Amino acid sequence: MSGEEEARWKRVDDRLHGYHGVGLADVLDCVGYLREEGDTVIAGGSLAWGLGNRLSDFDVVIVGAGTSPSRVPLEHWVKTLRVDAWTRSHEGVARLFAHAAEALESDAPLQGSFGTQEEEQQLKLLHRLAFGLRVDGPPLEGVDLAVARGLLAREYAERARESVLIARLALDAGRPLAATTNARLAVEETLHMVLARRGVPFTGDKWLQERLIGTAPDLRVHHDRFSALPEPGGEAAFVEDALALVAELGGRDSGADGAAWSAPDLVLHSPGGREHFLVAPGPGGMWELSAEEAQTWRGLSERDEWRDCSKAETGLLVGLYELGLAGLAWDKGVK
């Protein structure tokens, strides 16, 4: 262990003792049953990065030659400290980083292939392995810091691109809440992208403000300016200002270029010609359309691809996207 690693080990150990009266050795004892001789234990949650608090759990990843991957975090308790353990094999780690390297080389968009926006599981795992604290065992092979950093920056650049587009389209479609929540999201995603490019390890969306205070105070003012949604009437200015900031920080505003809508599971029925129902047999639901909306849908149905849509088509598609009935796919990733 290098001097720097030892110092970090001690800082985390002291913090755990201060909060819970237990240390890293106790954590290792607790998860010992999951380990084979020579396995590596990495701590990688907020506490390992100097964030977290007395109620934070302690995330560890156990990696070994023949370790079976855990599908869910395995929960343990060491006195009052909750320890969530993930297990992975050397091969699984190598595969994850190879997959990430390939994705970075490719022109194709990532589009959630490293975890959903809600869970961020694979993204977090990559960063835990790359930037986490090695608590015990040999250093991991095949872990590439540049790949972990590059993937995170790209993932957030792609998310921000979509947030920018949706914010703009939702504003035009008269959906102010969707517009402002996506504008705020675009700012935050862009800040994550900037942090990743500066080499700051990813800790999940929730720690953004604390991360900015600790590692990028120059960016905090941007975060604070858009953290609260505007009062009614101020939505358009809020969205425009947010999108201008995103562009200034290096985010992408490519409009709808390279984006295509789809809604493959929807079918329009107009019994008697007077009522119009959009039916989704998969999710098992139906939505009533106005005569104008039904006409717009028929126009869309006659086309193979939904690009360069008219205002009426875009308005309908944004509404369906908000209901989880339409999707948006991009031809290329953000490189």
State the residues that interact with other proteins by CB under 8 A.
52-56, 69, 71-72, 75, 77, 82, 92, 115-119, 121-122, 159, 162-163, 166, 170, 175, 177-178, 181-182, 185, 205-210, 212-213, 227-229, 280, 283-285, 321-325
- Closest approach, Cβ 249 to other proteins, in A, equals 18
Output 4 or 55, the one with its CB closest to other proteins.
55
- Closest approach, Cβ 117 to other proteins, in A, equals 4
Count the residues in the chain. Answer: 335
Output 72 or 221, the one with its CB closest to other proteins.
72
Output 63 or 178, the one with its CB closest to other proteins.
178
| Residue (of 309, 302, 289) closest to 172 by Cα position | 309
Residues 156, 192: Cα–Cα separation, whole Å = 7
Cβ neighbours of residue 167 closer than 8 Å, sequence gap 6 or more: 178, 179, 180, 182, 183, 185, 186, 239, 242, 243
Output 155 or 162, the one with its CB closest to other proteins.
162
Residues 237, 230: Cα–Cα separation, whole Å = 9
- Closest approach, Cβ 283 to other proteins, in A, equals 4
- Closest approach, Cβ 308 to other proteins, in A, equals 22
- Closest approach, Cβ 59 to other proteins, in A, equals 13
- Closest approach, Cβ 19 to other proteins, in A, equals 10
Output 120 or 136, the one with its CB closest to other proteins.
120
